[in-house]
Amino acid sequence: TQQRITVIRGDGIGPDIIDSALQILEKAGCDFAYDFADAGLMALENHGELLPQQTLDLIEKNKVTLKGPLTTPVGEGFTSINVSLRKRFQLYANVRPVLSFKGTKARYEDIDIITIRENTEGMYSGLGQVVSADGKEAEAMSKITREGAERIVTFAYELARREGRKKVTAVHKANILKSTSGLFLKVAREIAEQYPDIESTEMIVDNTCMQLVMNPHQFDVIVTTNLFGDILSDLCAGLVGGLGMAPGANIGKDCAIFEAVHGSAPDIAGKNLANPTSVILASIQMLEYLDMGDKAERIRNALKDVIESGDRTTRDLGGEHGTTDFTAAVLERL
């Protein structure tokens, strides 16, 4: 049966980069049926809410969603749509691969690191947010569960095994955050024993930041809690040329959402200037999730060749072309 995919074009540059990705998927021979759904500013205008019920229903029904960046209006009491989606569908694993392309402004070559960030608990659980009446004290609660730690660490090892990766590094701060990070590390050590075919290391988060900048080639798969993963995954994107070059997947037991990790870039929206690489890489992640690795590989090679040869690249990559020219260059190679 034909795979149906929910597509949220998103705000700002979203429609341009999503259309680029959809053309590329079609050219690579992917026979998907798409259900388009609104979220973000577009949904607020069309349906009076940021995340309409029909969008939630489509995400649930099709199980697989490709999503452009969404604008969350600031200071109007709106909670982040991305956080709502992660909670609602229990998308507990945030998978953030980074891969370097030659000839970009990236600081390193041959980077190939995947950060697996726990996406639902830890410092971002939203629990116990209190500011005292006099405004002089603020509190928030971090919660780690054995179940949550087990499922994310197991996810990381299973991914490592499936992709033939050699090493998993558990990143923590158990020396200071003895209860929460301590439990995460304890569980990580237990799970590591079940995977003797994979090298397991552990590293404290601040040292990890320094090591990633000084010697990133020592890393393969990183698994960590929510806040550390948020920061480390952006740091990793910086190693390969920035957020425009990095995709993200939010994966749960039943559902998955694949997305660009940058925002809606209102400064260049509607100008045909956006680099679609991040969302093209997200669709490659989606193909791998759907066991369509051969098509994923074809698209990755075409994209790599365009970027590395500098044929019709966008301004952020040092070229002087727009989204449509860049897309045409990838399509030609396919």
**What amino acid positions are annotated as catalytic residues?**
124, 173, 206, 230, 234
- Name every residue whose Cβ is closer than 8 Å to that of residue 183 and which is 6 or more positions away in sequence: 144, 146, 149
Of 52, 126, 182, 263, the one binding ligand NAI by CB under 6 A: 263
Is position 264 an interface residue for ligand NAI (rule: CB under 6 A)? yes
Residue 316 is a binding residue for ligand NAI (CB under 6 A): yes
**Cα distance between residue 231 and residue 206, in whole Å:** 11
Q: Per CB under 5 A, which of residues 194..233 are in contact with Mg ion?
A: 230
Q: What share of the chain is helix, strand, coil (3-state, %, to 5)?
A: 45, 20, 35
Among 274, 284, 329, 330, binds ligand NAI (CB under 6 A): 274
Distance CA 287, CA 299 (A): 10
Output 11 or 230, the one with its CB closest to Mg ion. 230
Yes or no: say if 249 and 282 are a contact pair by the CB < 8 Å rule: yes
Among 85, 232, 265, 292, the residue binding ligand NAI under the rule CB under 6 A is: 265
Q: Between 230 and 288, whose beta carbon lies closer to Mg ion? A: 230
Q: Using CB atoms within 10 A of its CB, is residue 226 exposed (0-12), middle (13-18) or buried (19+)?
A: buried
Residue of 19, 38, 259, 288 interacting with ligand NAI (CB under 6 A): 259
User: Does the footprint of Mg ion cover residue 38 (CB under 5 A)?
Assistant: no
């410092």: which residue's tokens?
Answer: 123
Is 69 an interacting residue with respect to ligand NAI (CB under 6 A)? yes
Paired tokens of 263? 């925002």
71 binds ligand NAI (CB under 6 A): yes
Query: If binding is defined by CB under 6 A, does position 267 make contact with ligand NAI?
Result: yes
Residue 247 makes contact with ligand NAI by CB under 6 A = no
Chain residues in the site for Mg ion (CB under 5 A): 230
